Amino acid sequence: MRWKLDDLYAFRAIVECSGLTQAARKLEMPKSTISNVLQRLEGDVGLRLVERNARSIGVTPEGQTLYHYACRILDLAEEAESNLGGLRSEPSGRVSLAVPGAFCREFLAPRLPDFAQAYPAVSLDVVVTSHQVDVLGGEFDMAVVVGEQIDSNLAQKRLFAGGLIWISSPGYALRNNLGERLHDHASHLKICETRYAGRQLEVHQAGKAVRLVVPPTVARINDPLSVREAVIAGFGVSLLPLRYCRDQLRSGELVEVWQSTTIDAEASKLSVIFPGRRLLAPRCRAVLNFLEDICRTAAAE
């Protein structure tokens, strides 16, 4: 089937105007173009659609059948164009979004009133999870994830690229000689996020890359905000993304330690991922723009 919508528009006009000349006048097209459309359609379907004479045309039964289908097809096309045009002007619909718990509590949830005001026709289904999610399989429309995602079928946009810092409560730092050697670090590292536990961390001291072995006795929590609260309570030293410690550093609940031992900023990168081989729906584009906006605002504070 090689029909074009424009050909169906022309055929509908031929039937409704009872002639090629009148159809050409209605559509403001040359009569020869209308005649070519009719010949092309008859050639495509292999049937005579109209009976011609010197004064008028008569629509054959086969032509009447095609006319009824053409009307239905064109009505659907016009409805689709109208609805999609509305979506372009105002995003609407539901978006399922997976996010880490800390990101949700610190950044997303406090800004949801702003999202509702900016996009009143878009509804969010937010799922808080620390597990890997299936975006390609349709489990979620989008997901905020930590680190780099290596998958050619996924598109990703960076939201945050802040570094990790070492933090302690002021009381713990005063009571203990924290030192600057890696051996000192290991003895005071009491708790950390699960993803950093049981591994060697690549850090830099005096411009040199060295490895810090995270002790197996370290307490593990898969939530950076819970790690933060434990450190505020005096539970040793830990490493956290700066974005989750800014307010506590300003208030004095936390202090930064071991500033000469730095960790790659990529270690705490946040990205939003979504299927890369699909046209991003307006409702999803609205969520993406919103996520980028709240992260850009947070980075500037």
What per-residue confidence (pLDDT) applies to 278?
Answer: 54
Q: Which of 169-173, 206-210, 294-298 has the highest mean pLDDT?
A: 169-173
Task: Note the pLDDT tens digit of each residue in 183-233.
Answer: 778 889 899 888 777 667 778 887 788 888 788 888 999 899 999 999 999
Q: Which of 9-23, 124-138, 260-274 has the highest mean pLDDT?
A: 9-23
From the centroid of its chain, how far is CA 225? 24
What percent of the chain clears pLDDT 90, i.e. is strictly above it?
26
Residue with tokens 């003895």: 187
From the centroid of its chain, how far is CA 11? 43
Nearest to 108 by CA among 160, 149, 156: 160
In the chain, the domains with their CATH numbers are 5-89 (1.10.10.10), 93-159+269-300 (3.40.190.10), 164-265 (3.40.190.290)
- Taking the C-alpha atoms of residue 27 and residue 6, their distance in angstroms, rounded to an integer, is 11
- Taking the C-alpha atoms of residue 158 and residue 117, their distance in angstroms, rounded to an integer, is 24
Please name the residue ranges forming H helices in 124-241: 170-175, 182-188, 224-232
Lowest mean pLDDT segment, chosen from 74-78, 143-147, 159-163, 266-270: 266-270
Return the percent helix, strand and coil in the chain, to nearest 5.
Answer: 45, 25, 30
* Mean pLDDT of the residues in the chain: 84
Q: 289: number of CA atoms within 13 Å, CB side?
A: 13
Q: How far is CA 41 from each of CA 30, 75, 77, 244, 258, rounded to the nearest angstrom?
A: 17, 19, 19, 65, 78
Nearest to 141 by CA among 105, 107, 91, 102: 91
Q: What is the mean pLDDT of residues 110-134?
A: 88
What per-residue confidence (pLDDT) applies to 149?
Answer: 65
The token duo for 73 is 């097809």
What per-residue confidence (pLDDT) applies to 248?
Answer: 94
Residue 197 CB coordination number (10 Å): 18
Task: Note the pLDDT tens digit of each residue in 73-121.
Answer: 887 887 676 666 655 567 888 899 999 899 999 999 999 999 999 999 9
Task: Identify which has the larger pLDDT, 170 or 150.
Answer: 170
What's the chain's length in residues?
301
Q: Is the pLDDT of residue 166 over 70?
A: yes
Please state the pTM of the whole predicted model.
0.63
Q: What is the mean pLDDT of residues 234-252?
A: 91
Task: Note the pLDDT tens digit of each residue in 10-69.
Answer: 898 888 888 888 888 888 888 888 889 899 888 888 889 888 775 667 889 998 999 888
What per-residue confidence (pLDDT) applies to 198?
Answer: 61
Q: Are 204 and 175 in contact (CB under 8 A)?
A: no
Q: How far is CA 235 from each of CA 18, 229, 259, 276, rounded to the nearest angstrom?
A: 88, 9, 19, 43
Q: Which of 48-52, 197-201, 251-255, 265-269 has the highest mean pLDDT?
A: 251-255
